[in-house]
Amino acid sequence: MSEPIKIGITCHPSAGGSGIMATELGIALAERGYEVHFVTSETPFRLTEFHKNIFCHTVSVVSYPLFRNPPASLALASKISEVAEEFDIKLWHVHYAIPNAACAIMARDMLPPDKKFKIITTLHGTDITLVGADPSFFRITKYAMEHSCAVTAVSQWLSEETEREFDLKKPVHTVYNFLDESKFALHSPEHCTLSHNGKKIIMHISNFRPVKRVTDIVRAFNKIREKVDAKLIMVGDGPERMSAVGVAKQLGITEDITYLGTYQNIEHILPCADLVFQPSEHESFGLTHLEAMLCEVPVLGTNSGGVKEVVDHGETGYLTDVGDIDAMAQYAVDILSDDTLSKQMGEKGRKRALEQFNKEKIIDQYEALYHSLM
């Protein structure tokens, strides 16, 4: 019997799209027989089930009075190098350029020639648009991409944006995100566990960072509820949550908004939604949009970044300009007050998700890339 292919994966383990994607990929590769080694600062958020092919190595960072901020990236680089050598791993797939790609390069440089591994860096969005483009990180982000063996991005928009912004000498391959469709149940209102007294449910899911523009949701919701009996469910937590709370208070609509906090098994509550509302400033892909589509829930998003490649405007949901609250409210009312339209959009959404972002097809693309490097 041939030896399993070993692969190392490093990602941010917190509740963000890049960590979720890296975890989904790791699980899918393990199911295909790969031996997958995660090296992360803690166990990834959605890595909840045991799999015999998955190993999880967490990094511990020593604190010392001299360090104002313990150098966690150095500890991560050290750990990647140590695990690669111990398990003889020849392929490392890092998600999010900063600091993960730079750490993998350092780790590879520390290894003797016969132990060095190939690095694939997958860009997820803010690592390029916000963090990487910041002057403090620009050079290291460019260096990390140029010293990776291959670079992928999760949408065509992000690939082009990266090549342009960083004037890269190598191509950025587009490999779309995918999800495990079997996890995401079909829309079944009778099984909805959120009590809503017959009101329509508008749901938002994010980490409440400024880029998510959560106060736009509250403002649009204020207009929507003039026309539709609806409730707003906010899932997740982050720095902008209190701004949303403040705006809702000013508008006097607090009682119709519920904040659920961070929720791991999003597939349990997403099917209860009648509309998923993500008015982001930009979104390189929009994993939540895809989750909603798989649950046959229409999506309301913005036409900025890579979302246009995920949501088909007028077919699987609607896209507006960023900050156009009137248009958002109107589209939401259109969907929520027309059950036939809503059902059609939901069904088309799942169909599109299964065809365009098919898990097996996308894993095949990653596998082809791995083989081309080996």
Nearest distance, CB of residue 95 and ligand GMT, angstroms: 8
Stretch that binds ligand GMT, among 14-22, 81-89, 243-251, 342-350 (CB under 6 A): 14-22
Helix (H) or strand (E) holding 57: strand 54-58
Strands of the sheet with 6-10, listed across from one edge: 54-58, 35-40, 6-10, 91-95, 118-123, 150-153, 172-174
Nearest distance, CB of residue 22 and ligand GMT, angstroms: 9
Q: Which of 78, 156, 174, 207 binds ligand GMT (CB under 6 A)?
A: 207
Measure the CA–CA gap between 346 and 348, rounded to whole angstroms. Answer: 5
Stretch that binds ligand GMT, among 72-80, 109-117, 124-132, 351-359 (CB under 6 A): 124-132
| Strand boundaries in 206-252, DSSP class E | 230-235
Helix axis angle, 325-336 to 214-227, nearest 10°:
50
Q: Would you count residue 211 as binding ligand GMT (CB under 6 A)? A: yes
Strands of the sheet with 230-235, listed across from one edge: 257-261, 230-235, 200-205, 275-277, 299-302, 317-320
Kindly write out the interface string for residues 168-197 of this chain, putting x where it contacts ligand GMT by CB under 6 A and - elsewhere: ---------x--------------------
Q: Would you count residue 286 as binding ligand GMT (CB under 6 A)? A: yes
- Residue 230 or 297: which CB sits closer to ligand GMT? 297
- Residue 121 or 177: which CB sits closer to ligand GMT? 177
Q: Which of 141, 159, 278, 284 binds ligand GMT (CB under 6 A)?
A: 284
Measure the CA–CA gap between 157 and 78, rounded to whole angstroms. Answer: 34
How many chain residues touch ligand GMT (CB under 6 A)? 19
Give the number of other Cβ atoms within 10 Å of residue 328's Cβ.
Answer: 27
- The residues that touch ligand GMT, with contacts defined as CB under 6 A, are 16-19, 21, 96, 124-126, 154, 177, 206-207, 211, 283-287
